[in-house]
Amino acid sequence: MIDVNNFESMEIGLAAPNKIRSWSFGEVKKPETINYRTLKPEKDGLFDERIFGPTKDYECACGKYKRQRFKGRVCDRCGVEVTSSKVRRERMGHIELAAPVTHIWYFKGIPSRMGLVLDMSPRSLEEVIYFASYVVVDAGDTPLEKKQLLSEADYREKKAEYGDRFEAQMGAEAIKRLLEDVDLEKETAELKAVLKEATGQKRTRAVRRLDILEAFLKAGNNPAWMVMDVLPVMPPDLRPMVQLEGGRFATSDLNDLYRRVINRNNRLKRLLEINAPGIIVQNEKRMLQEAADALIDNGRRGRPVTGPGNRPLKSLSHLLKGKQGRFRQNLLGKRVDYSGRSVIDVGPSMKMNQMGLPVPMAMELFKPFIIHELTKRELVNNPKAARRMIDNRDEVVFDVLEDVIKEHPVLLNRAPTLHRLGIQAFEPILVSGKAMRLHPLVCAAYNADFDGDQMAIHVPLSAEAQAEARLLMLAAHHILSPRDGEPIVAPSQDMVIGNYYMTIEDKAREGEGMIFKDLNEAMLAYKNGYVSLQTRVGVQTSSYPNKPFTDEQRGRIMVTSVGKLFFNNIMPEDYVYINEPTMDNLTNGVPDKYFLDKGEDIHDYLENTPVVAPFKVGFLSSIIAEVYKKYKVTVTSQLLDDMKDLGYYESTISGVTVGITDVTDLKEKPGIIEEAHKQVALITKQFRRGLITDSERYDRVIGVWNDAKDAVQDKLIEHMDIHNPINMMSDSGARGNISNFTQLAGMRGLMASPSGKIMELPVISNFREGLSVLEMFLSSHGARKGMTDTALKTANSGYLTRRLVDVSQDVIVREEDCGTDRGLDVTAITNGDEMIEPLYDRVLGRYTMKSVFDPQTGEKIVDKNVLVDEAMAQAIVDAGVEKVTIRTAFTCNTDHGVCERCYGRNAATGDQVEAGEAIGTVAAQSIGEPGTQLTLRNFHTGGVAGNDDITQGLPRIVEIVEARNPKGKAVISEVTGTIVSIEENPADQTKDVTVKGDADTRTYTLPMATRMKVAEGDEIRRGFPLNEGSVDPKELIRVRDVLSTETYMLAEIQKVYRMQGIDLLDKHVEIMVRQMIRKVRVMDPGDTDVLPGQLMDINQFRDANYKTLVEGGVPATARPVILGITKAALETNSFLSAASFQETTRVLTDAAIRGKNDPLVGLKENVIIGKIIPAGTGMGTYRGIKPREVSVRTPEPGYEVTPATSIREMETQLNDEQ
């Protein structure tokens, strides 16, 4: 076997007949498979043990030699080698063909490779191969031409006329003869000469032929090998035959296809031996050709060969293709041992990095470790006894299991794994039952809930795998989302309501104005009923010696609430005291207004001071983000657990419930509805009188009812009590929102019809009153449409993610600094007056290319080549800077990746990115994962005639990344100049816009109804749109430059996501767009070896030019090309990666002819051949490091124990003291 980690690249080529024979262990001569009586393989058949090896381990067919000691001996009686039966998975056989056959991939593919080499049309080839016409292989001295086709009648006529002076043949033999006659070097020289003069179609054909012929030359492949004299036979265990219960046999389709070939081949041999008439032999040869075609690619030509029930048989090509093919099913998605799956349940009492593992699962998953430990402790003598002990559930086994799982992390995965947080590591804790327990805070990352979801568990076996799981994958490390760098782990539902309830402030609650020395005193008062959680009290700041109060604030009384005292107790000791839900409090500490002046009476202060809003879900998230920035993983995960415990405890104490009485009636509703009816009647009257159009009437009616619903909602909010449980849930962000409350207590409002159009009939009732039959019917449309949309969206989004991953999977951080001298000028992205992405977000976590100066004072704010942190980004924004030049993936010079400087900060950790990070895959996941949240709809622009719908949401993203012509395309100016005239042509409903440039004047014809972006006399720059709509990037790159096009695509993708409220970092989009524009098309090859029209990687093109310039030649010229992600993924340098993505047979055909060498730089190709992936710890830089054993036992990761981590512990402490 090959050691997969010891070779650097993998090459593919055409197999010569002798090469196929050298692979083979013997010729398959008979179509028989196994003897149905003895169930033994037949001699010389498709399962012959002499050819393929023994069916039983170390036992020959006749049973003369058994056991391993005879290994390698060939039995003299039956001729079978005594060896392991697994050789039947790797030993090949062959079939010697009585007549050659063409390989259908090379004849039938588009373009036909055989046709290009021979300069014959595919139709002519087909006529020759399938015995419809003769082809002249040697014209001799006759006026016939070589490769001329002759029908049967023509052939007889010419034979009578010229006799043996010429030679014509049929079938694959003729093609083989022609291919052998091709002089590659002579043909390429001739084609190069033709290219200098040729134009149009002739030139295109010549370029394609030259490309193929040079490929054969460079790879050392002989074109005649496209015709086969010998067929390889696949190892039998890869096309098995198994006996079913009823005594019948199930067999792989390949066996049927091989049998057809062997039967026809044997029949042809017999016919040739007996000198059968030519017509019969020809027919048999044609049938053999068709059988070989069906074996290689059934259905590629004509009707497929079918099996029982008219099912097409699966050929060799089908074994590779598609989701169930070898690549995607077995090479990229293997099933692994030491894994299991079970339903998940909530584990509220667990720590952040723990999961509950049911004992029966643990027993099975950790079996090898238990056996090892039992043997090591000398509780058993051998593994067999240990297994028996485990099966009998011996008591000692449970003790061993407890020890074995300690500090042995496991991986949990929930499908669909949309981003890297879909697999995280946890420390297992044994639990009873059969369901795995999951920590409630990691549910958001997994998108899991406990309504029957299942998850898979995997056990990392080796020491390295365990170390990686612990150091890189532990759930406690995954606090930030790689998509936007914001916390993905945040309290939700019960936890939010608990923390919200506890930070509510009420006026005039019991004990208001009491002043406490410290937290313990307040705790005592609370326990004894003197104060409630919502009571506003004073506390001495001196009780918080480590908190960052200002000198003026120290020693003064701070006004807060009892609940906030408890809430702040879970915060890190030296973190600011949080008294109000503002970013100012989080960054600068408690504002001075909450401190009493010397001698000021607290009751007077409270009388005149309004209550502070409680802490909602968004603010809790901000706290986590700020704590993470300051203290990193350990403290943050401890805080999260404490926040969870506190939230659950307080939500239980709060007793928040929902009852029908919480939904109150709204007295003003009938009046609002009546007023709306009057307005609608007035609008209808205007329409009937012809004062307004139908579309205006529709828009106004919709407007009236929306206003009515808003008015009802406003009144509801006005009358809302802060302690109303439904209000508490929606206001805190724990569950639902205000519109849910409006539907319960106000009115449901307008509904969408199945087509997505809003219906004019409103649902006036609410759920408290109950809906009428008609209203119920109207409501049901929207619900159904929601369900179908979700299903469609999931499939579309999943397919988009797959294509994104494929195009970017080889982008890895490969070096520290690429040394580029180019950067990108970034400004805030806006859409009209609407802010899409502010400058702060665009510069944060990026390296500056140039120094940033204050536009007013000229003072330097940030130096060049510096990583911009939050403080710097804020300083840039505060100074009013509008444009910053940053390092970007667009201009990075690193090959097959990006350097650390051009990428910047790793969003998932908040630190500088490290070499080895698989940023391409992370980028693809970040763009694809929120895909399901994007809309599928196209929004109408509001009834403007002739204006197409603007594509938005998921379809718009696909439109951009697949480089399609956009819907509602804008026309761009190709010159910089002035708009001199806009003339309307009512006859054909168009308008002509004339742009006058310095050297050129252009006129553009636009539809009459289009919305213009320019007016007469306006200045316009090259590449800018004349009308509303989306610019086609392919046109933009032709008119402007690459960087402008990349910037436009980045802004367009950001618009789609940000308008739907989804934050996405620029750097992810940059990597994707860069992958689309990394190829160039050669216009003029100059003195280089490249071909005109050839598609090349930009770096390969630069290398070719550099080499030519050094030698004093003329460099080639090329034009950048935008490829859609599907095309870009197929144009990658790795044929393994491309073949496992789409169009498997086409990719492999092309790769074999070119003798392609896969350098194995991406992730997919290494997974396919079983090598360690070259990212992360698999990078060459890290591979040499060997693990060393040290005597220090590592402490349990994760947490430092802080005193009194929850109210329950504080209570116990106080009770003990009393």
Spell out the CATH class of 660-771.
mainly alpha
Quick one: average pLDDT of 257-265?
Answer: 95
How far is Cα 1093 from Cα 1091, in angstroms, rounded to an integer?
6
Quick one: average pLDDT of 179-199?
Answer: 87
Six-digit token pair at 955? Answer: 């379809």
Six-digit token pair at 547? Answer: 């908190």
Quick one: average pLDDT of 552-565?
Answer: 92
Is residue 1194 predicted with pLDDT exceeding 80?
no
Annotated ligand binding at 899? The verdict is yes
Q: Which is more confident, 766 or 952? A: 766
Task: For the beta carbon of residue 1035, count every other beta carbon within 10 angstroms.
Answer: 17
Cα separation of the two ends of the chain: 74
Question: Among 1-5, 933-937, 1190-1194, whose mean pLDDT is lowest?
Answer: 1190-1194
Annotated ligand binding at 1066? The verdict is no
Is residue 415 predicted with pLDDT exceeding 80?
yes
Is residue 924 predicted with pLDDT exceeding 90?
yes
Six-digit token pair at 491? Answer: 């309290």
Type of residue numbered 1084: D
Query: Contact 149/127 with Cβ under 8 angstroms?
Result: yes
Question: Among 694-703, 751-760, 999-1008, whose mean pLDDT is lowest?
Answer: 751-760
User: Where residue 1193 falls among pLDDT bands split at 50, 70, 90?
Assistant: very low
pLDDT of residue 758: 87
Type of residue numbered 247: G
pLDDT of residue 1200: 41
Quick one: average pLDDT of 497-502?
Answer: 94
Helix or strand run (H / E) with residue 16: none
Annotated ligand binding at 443? The verdict is no
Is residue 115 predicted with pLDDT exceeding 70?
yes
pLDDT of residue 1212: 54
Beta bridge partners of 425: 411, 474
Q: Which is more confident, 1113 or 6? A: 1113
For 948-970, how does the pLDDT look when each residue is reduced to its tens digit (9 = 90+)?
Answer: 455 788 889 999 999 999 888 89
Is residue 848 predicted with pLDDT exceeding 70?
yes
**Domains of the chain: which residue ranges?**
334-366+408-477, 494-654, 660-771, 938-1076, 1080-1183
Question: Among 255-259, 280-284, 723-727, 1048-1052, whose mean pLDDT is lowest?
Answer: 723-727
Is residue 939 predicted with pLDDT exceeding 70?
no
Question: Among 250-264, 702-716, 776-790, 1034-1048, whose mean pLDDT is lowest?
Answer: 776-790
Quick one: average pLDDT of 336-356?
Answer: 93
How far is Cα 473 from Cα 466, in angstroms, rounded to an integer?
10
pLDDT of residue 19: 93
Residue 807 CB contacts under 8 Å (≥ 6 apart), including other chains: 924, 1072, 1075, 1076, 1125, 1126, 1128, 1129, 1132
Quick one: average pLDDT of 128-157?
Answer: 90
- Residue 299's nearest CA partner among 143, 108, 432, 160 is 108
How far is Cα 1089 from Cα 666, in angstroms, rounded to an integer?
81
Indicate left, alpha or beta for 654 from its phi (over 0: left) and psi (-120 to 50: alpha): alpha
Annotated ligand binding at 902? The verdict is yes
Six-digit token pair at 1209? Answer: 């512990």
Q: Which CATH architecture has domain 494-654?
A: Orthogonal Bundle (1.10)
pLDDT of residue 1012: 87
User: Where residue 778 falls among pLDDT bands split at 50, 70, 90?
Assistant: confident
Question: Among 243-252, 326-335, 376-385, 1149-1158, whose mean pLDDT is lowest?
Answer: 326-335
CATH number of 1080-1183: 1.10.150.390
Is the CATH number 3.30.1360.30 carried by domain 938-1076? no
pLDDT of residue 773: 94
Q: What is the mean pLDDT of the chain?
A: 88
- Residue 1164's nearest CA partner among 1145, 1144, 1140 is 1140
pLDDT of residue 721: 82
Quick one: average pLDDT of 258-284?
Answer: 94
Is residue 654 predicted with pLDDT exceeding 70?
yes
Six-digit token pair at 673? Answer: 């509805």
Is residue 11 predicted with pLDDT exceeding 60?
yes
Quick one: average pLDDT of 217-223?
Answer: 90
Query: Contact 947/1011 with Cβ under 8 angstroms?
Result: yes
Indicate the DSSP class of residue 81: B
Q: Which is more confident, 886 or 721? A: 886
Q: pTM for the full model?
A: 0.86
Spell out the CATH class of 334-366+408-477.
mainly beta
Query: Contact 897/876 with Cβ under 8 angstroms?
Result: no
The b-or-e profile of 856-879 (16+ CB within 10 A means b, else e) is eeeeebbeeeebbeeebbebbeeb
